[in-house]
Amino acid sequence: MFVVTADQVDSRRRPDIVAPALEEIADRFAAHLALPPDRNAGDELQVLTADAATALDLILTLTREGAWSVGLGLGDVRLPLPENTREATGDAFVAARTAVARAKRAPARLAVEALAAPEPAADAEALVTLLLTLRDGRTAAGWELYDLVSAGLTQAEAGARLGITPQSASDRARAAGARVELAAIPALTRLLARADAAQSEGPDAHDPEEDA
């Protein structure tokens, strides 16, 4: 399972954005969440999913504007699940708590942690961080084109929608790294899925109660 714990950046000097973020996540990802997204510890939100693609999409969504430090925890979750995400427990939740604390000091404001098999999680963090670094340099014009292409338009169609020539659309897509990102997302999704599966392949399951 994947637990995303996100802490609002500079929350003491900025308006609270947890409520609108939870609403957006619920609207966009509800069908792929194990429980409804929840507020946790004031200016934090927490999301639980079994789907690697959803976990990656949540990371990309939350890190886009630089408003969140995002921790991803991988591992088992105690069953049966409670009604609320903030009441759930297990390795993935313990790992997510460690991850979000570390993400606050990370250049890309992302960290990925796992208790049972930490190396695959570290590999996933390194490669997702590369993608986030690419995205961090993307201009507003680049995002405009990327959003259209990622929604299913061709570069030419996106260019026509934006009122620019096919060559300009191609140049803008190259500068934005649009094709690089779209090619990387399926590979990163598989990497996260394998990293999560590795958490159940160890000789012994980790009991978070031992850390209490």
pLDDT, tens digit (0-9, with 9 covering 90-100), for 83-97: 999 999 999 999 999
Give me the chain's average pLDDT, please. 93
**What fold does the segment set 2-116 form as a domain?**
Alpha-Beta Plaits (3.30.70)
**Residue 211 predicted with pLDDT over 80:** no
CA distance 34 to 196: 15
CA distance 96 to 196: 13
Domain boundaries, the chain: 2-116
**Res 11: pLDDT:** 73
pLDDT, tens digit (0-9, with 9 covering 90-100), for 189-209: 999 999 999 999 854 444 444
SS3 content of the chain, % helix, strand, coil (to 5): 55, 15, 30
**Res 202: pLDDT:** 54
**Res 33: pLDDT:** 98
In degrees and rounded to multiples of 5, residue 65 shows phi and psi of -95, 0
**Res 84: pLDDT:** 93
> Number of C-alpha atoms within 13 angstroms, CB side, residue 96?
32
